[in-house]
Amino acid sequence: MPSFSLSGQRKVMEQEVEEITFTDLMANGPTRFRNVAKPTFGNAYLDSHFVPAKHNHLAAEEPLPTPHALPETAVSPKTKPANSKTMMPSERHQPKDDSTILPQSNDTPTAVTTKTAKKRRDRKKATAATAAEETNQPPPASGAVPTIATDGTAAPLASPPSPLPPVSKSKKRRDRAKKKQLESPASQTTAAINDAALPLKKTRPDTLQKKVDKNIKAQPPQPDLSNKKSKDAKEAKKEKKPLAEDKGKTAAEKKIKQDKKPKADQEKGYIHPDDVIRPGGKRRARYDRYLAPEVLQKGLEDGSFYSGVLRINKRNRNDSYVTSDALAHDIYIFGSRDRNRALESDMVVVKLVEVDKIWGLKLAKEKDHQEKSNSNNKAPEPTLADPAVTPVNGDSSLSTDLALEIDAFNQEDLAASDQPTKDEDDRKPKYAGKVVGILERLEDQQYTGTLLRNRPGEGNDNATPFVWFKPTDKRVPLVAVHLKKAPEDFLADPASFAQDIYSVKLVRWPIDTQYPFGRVVSHVGKIGDVKVDEACILADNNILDAGFSKNALSCLPTTPWEIPNKQYKHRRDLRDYRVFSIDPATAKDLDDALHIIALDDHQFEVGVHIADVSYFVNRNTKLDAEARQRATSTYLVDRVIPMLPSLLCEQLCSLNPDVERLAFSVIWKMDDKGNIIDTWFGRTIIKSCAKLAYDDAQQVIDGHGLPAEAKVSDRSLVSAIEKDILALHKLSVHMRKRRFENGALSMNSIKLSFTLDDEGQPIKVWVYQLKEANRLIEEFMLRANMSVAEKICDTYPEEALLRRHEHPVERRMAEFIKTASELGYTIDDSSSGSLQASFDAIPSDDVRAVLRILAIKPMRRAKYFCTGTFENDDEYLHYALNVPMYTHFTSPIRRYADVMVHRLLESALLEKDQCGYNKKTMESVALHCNWKKNSAKDAQDQSSHLYLSMYLSRLAATTDKPLVYDAIVLQVGDRAFDLLVPEYGLEARVYADAMPIRRFTYGPGFIAVDWLQDEVMNGKTIDHWRSTNRDMPGVPLASPPLTAASQQDENTSLLTCPHDASTGTQQFMTFGRLKVSIEVSLDSLPTTIKIFIVNPFLPASN
Specify binding-site residues for Mg(2+): 583, 592
Alpha-carbon torsion, ordered 251, 257, 260, 261, to 10 deg: -90
Cα dist from 378 to 375, 406, 715, 993, 1064, whole Å: 8, 9, 69, 12, 27
Q: Residue 791 CB: number of other CB atoms within 10 A? A: 21
What value, to the nearest 5°, has the Cα angle with vertex 640 and ends 639 and 646?
Answer: 120
* Interatomic CA distance for residues 351 and 140, integer angstroms: 42
| Burial class of residue 586 in the structure, from the number of CB atoms within 10 Å of its CB (0-12 exposed, 13-18 middle, 19+ buried) | exposed
Cα dist from 753 to 636, 762, 770, 1052, whole Å: 11, 10, 12, 24
- Given CA atoms 532, 537, 542, 545 in this order, what sign does their dihedral have? negative
- Which of these, 300, 290, 273, lies nearest to 340 by C-alpha position? 290
Q: Which residues of 713-731 are buried (b: 16+ CB within 10 A; e: fewer)?
A: eeeebbeebbebbebbbbb
Query: Which residues, other chains included, contact 546 with Cβ-Cβ below 8 Å and sequence gap of 6+?
Result: 6, 7, 8, 9
* Interatomic CA distance for residues 326 and 756, integer angstroms: 47
- Residues that constitute the known binding site: 583, 592
* Interatomic CA distance for residues 430 and 256, integer angstroms: 14
* Interatomic CA distance for residues 720 and 737, integer angstroms: 26
Phi-psi region of 713 (alpha: psi -120 to 50; beta: other; left: phi over 0): alpha
Using an 8 Å Cβ cutoff, are 339 and 377 in contact? Answer: no
Helices and strands: H and E segment counts in the chain: 30, 36
- Given CA atoms 385, 386, 388, 394 in this order, what sign does their dihedral have? negative
Using an 8 Å Cβ cutoff, are 269 and 152 in contact? Answer: yes
Residues paired with residue 469 on neighbouring β-strands, in sequence order: 451, 479
* Interatomic CA distance for residues 141 and 137, integer angstroms: 12
> H or E element: which one contains 573?
strand 572-574
* Interatomic CA distance for residues 13 and 232, integer angstroms: 45
Query: Which residues, other chains included, contact 1051 with Cβ-Cβ below 8 Å and sequence gap of 6+?
Result: none
